C-alpha cells in the first residue's frame, strides 16, 4: 500500500466520504463497481478542466493534478454516455466535473474528447479496506411505513437534460419560501453535481439532498427497486410534515430509462401535489405533453423551462394548449404560488387529447 499525500482534491461524486477515511492507495485487479474510489492523476485535459468538491468549490485542474475519483455510469445526451469498465484499467475518462470516472461509450459530436485520468490504485482506509461510497450513506435507511398526509410534493420533470428543470425548481422554492412556507428539496436521479440542489438551497429550500447522500455517484442503470428506495428514503427523511412542501427534480427527459421507471410507479405518481413540465422549445413541450399523458397518464399543472423565457415560444405553445406557462427566469411569485397552493388534482388519469390540446383554443396571455 502507498500513502496518499495531503493536498489531493476530493470531488463531490464522493460526497459521503470524509478525508479521514482516506489513507492509502493500492493497485488491484478487482473488478470496478459503481461507487469504488480510486486515486488518480490527470494525464490529459479534455472537455473538463475543473473539479467540483464536496463543498461546491470549483478546482481548476492541470496535467498532473492528483485527486480521488469515483467509478460510476453517466447518461448525458449533451455530453457522454459512460460506463464503469468491466475490468481495472490504467486509464479512464472523466465523465463529469464531480469527479466521476468510467469509459466513454458514446459522445455528443459537438463536445470535446473527455479529460483522461491515470489510475494509480484503489483507495483504502487505515485498515486497508477499499472504499465505496455506497457503504457510507449520510441518510440511514428507514423501513417504517409512510404516514399520511405528507408534505406536498412539487415534481419537476422535462423533455431532456438542460431543458430548464433546475431553474423551474428554484423558482418554486423561491415562490413558496417568499410566502413563508417551509420547503425541502431533492434531486432523485442524475449524475453527481451539487449545482442543482445548491440552486434550490439558494432559493430558500432547506434541508436539501440528492442520491449522493445515499452513497450513489449516479443513478444511471440502477434497478427499479434501487430507484424507488432512493425516492422513498428521501421522502421519509424530508417530507413527513404535511404543512411543508417538498420540491423534487427528476433528471434528463421523461423517456430516459430511470425517469420513465419512476413515472410509471404508482408510489411516485400518488405523491404528486403539482407537476411542472419543462422543455427547451414549444414543439418539444407539445410532443412531451402527449407522451406524458399517453404513456404515464399525467397532465402537468404548469409548463416551464427554457421555452418559458421566450415570448415567441410561449405564443406558439398557447396555440396548442391552455396549460399555464410560467417564466422560470422572471417568475411572478404570487401567480405561481396560487397554482402551487391550489388543491391537488385527483385522481391522475389519462386525459383525452382534446382536453390537453383544445381545438378551439385562441392565443391569450397565459403566462404566470
Domain ranges of the chain: 2-132, 152-356
The rounded distance, in Å, linking the Cα atoms of 32 and 7 is 25
- Asked whether the beta carbons of 67 and 61 are under 8 A apart, the reply is yes
Length of the chain (residues): 368
The rounded distance, in Å, linking the Cα atoms of 314 and 28 is 56
Alpha helices, DSSP H, located in the chain: 165-178, 195-202, 224-238, 257-263, 266-269, 282-296, 311-317, 333-341, 353-356
* Fold classification of 152-356 (topology level): Rossmann fold (3.40.50)
Q: Which residue has the cell 427528476?
A: 250
The rounded distance, in Å, linking the Cα atoms of 279 and 288 is 8
- Asked whether the beta carbons of 188 and 231 are under 8 A apart, the reply is yes
- Asked whether the beta carbons of 34 and 84 are under 8 A apart, the reply is yes
What local confidence, expressed as pLDDT, does residue 363 receive?
39
Residues of the chain with pLDDT under 70: 346-368
- The residues, ordered by sequence, that sit 6+ positions from 329 with a Cβ below 8 Å of its Cβ are 167, 308, 309
What local confidence, expressed as pLDDT, does residue 125 receive?
97
C-alpha cell at 88: 481495472
Distances (CA, A) of 130 to 35, 43, 279: 11, 23, 42
What local confidence, expressed as pLDDT, does residue 368 receive?
57
What local confidence, expressed as pLDDT, does residue 140 receive?
85
- Asked whether the beta carbons of 293 and 219 are under 8 A apart, the reply is no
- Asked whether the beta carbons of 79 and 21 are under 8 A apart, the reply is no
- Asked whether the beta carbons of 116 and 103 are under 8 A apart, the reply is no
Q: Rounding to the nearest 10 degrees, give the CA dihedral for residues 338, 339, 345, 350.
A: 160
Question: 293 phi and psi, to 5 degrees?
Answer: -80, -50
The DSSP symbol for 16 reads T
Q: In what order do the strands lie in the sheet with 302-304?
A: 208-210, 183-187, 245-249, 152-158, 272-278, 302-304
Amino acid at each position: 500500500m502507498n500513502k496518499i499525500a495531503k493536498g489531493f482534491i476530493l470531488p463531490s461524486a464522493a460526497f459521503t466520504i470524509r478525508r479521514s477515511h482516506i489513507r492509502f492507495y493500492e493497485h488491484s485487479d478487482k473488478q470496478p463497481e459503481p461507487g469504488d474510489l480510486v486515486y488518480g492523476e490527470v494525464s490529459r485535459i479534455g472537455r473538463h478542466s475543473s473539479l467540483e468538491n464536496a463543498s461546491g468549490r470549483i478546482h481548476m485542474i492541470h496535467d498532473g493534478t492528483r485527486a480521488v475519483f469515483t467509478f460510476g455510469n453517466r447518461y448525458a445526451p449533451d455530453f457522454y454516455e459512460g460506463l464503469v469498465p468491466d475490468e481495472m484499467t490504467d486509464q479512464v475518462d472523466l465523465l463529469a466535473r464531480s469527479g466521476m470516472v468510467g469509459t466513454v461509450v458514446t459522445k455528443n459530436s459537438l463536445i470535446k474528447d473527455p479529460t483522461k485520468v491515470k489510475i494509480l490504485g484503489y483507495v483504502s482506509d487505515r485498515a486497508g479496506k477499499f472504499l465505496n461510497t455506497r457503504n457510507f450513506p449520510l441518510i440511514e435507511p428507514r423501513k417504517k411505513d409512510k404516514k399520511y398526509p405528507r408534505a406536498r410534493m412539487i415534481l419537476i420533470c422535462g423533455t431532456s437534460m438542460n431543458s430548464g428543470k433546475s431553474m423551474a425548481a428554484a423558482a418554486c422554492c423561491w415562490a413558496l419560501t417568499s410566502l413563508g412556507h417551509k420547503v425541502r428539496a431533492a434531486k432523485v436521479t442524475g449524475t453527481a453535481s451539487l449545482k442543482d440542489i445548491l440552486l434550490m438551497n439558494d432559493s430558500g429550500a432547506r434541508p436539501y439532498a440528492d442520491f449522493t447522500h445515499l452513497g450513489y455517484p449516479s443513478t444511471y442503470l440502477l434497478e427499479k427497486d434501487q430507484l424507488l428506495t432512493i425516492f422513498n428514503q428521501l421522502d421519509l427523511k424530508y417530507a413527513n410534515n404535511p404543512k411543508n412542501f417538498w420540491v423534487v427534480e427528476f433528471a434528463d427527459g421523461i423517456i430516459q430509462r430511470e425517469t420513465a421507471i419512476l413515472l410509471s410507479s404508482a408510489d411516485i405518481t400518488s405523491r404528486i401535489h403539482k407537476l411542472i413540465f419543462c422543455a427547451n422549445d414549444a414543439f418539444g413541450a407539445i410532443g412531451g405533453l402527449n407522451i406524458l399523458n399517453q404513456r404515464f397518464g399525467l397532465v402537468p399543472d404548469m409548463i416551464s423551462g427554457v421555452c418559458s423565457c421566450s415570448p415567441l415560444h410561449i405564443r406558439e405553445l398557447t396555440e396548442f394548449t391552455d396549460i399555464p406557462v410560467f417564466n422560470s427566469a422572471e417568475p411572478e411569485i404570487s401567480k405561481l404560488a396560487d397554482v402551487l397552493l391550489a388543491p391537488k388534482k385527483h385522481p391522475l388519469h389519462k386525459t383525452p387529447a382534446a382536453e390537453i390540446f383544445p381545438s378551439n383554443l385562441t392565443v391569450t396571455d397565459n403566462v404566470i
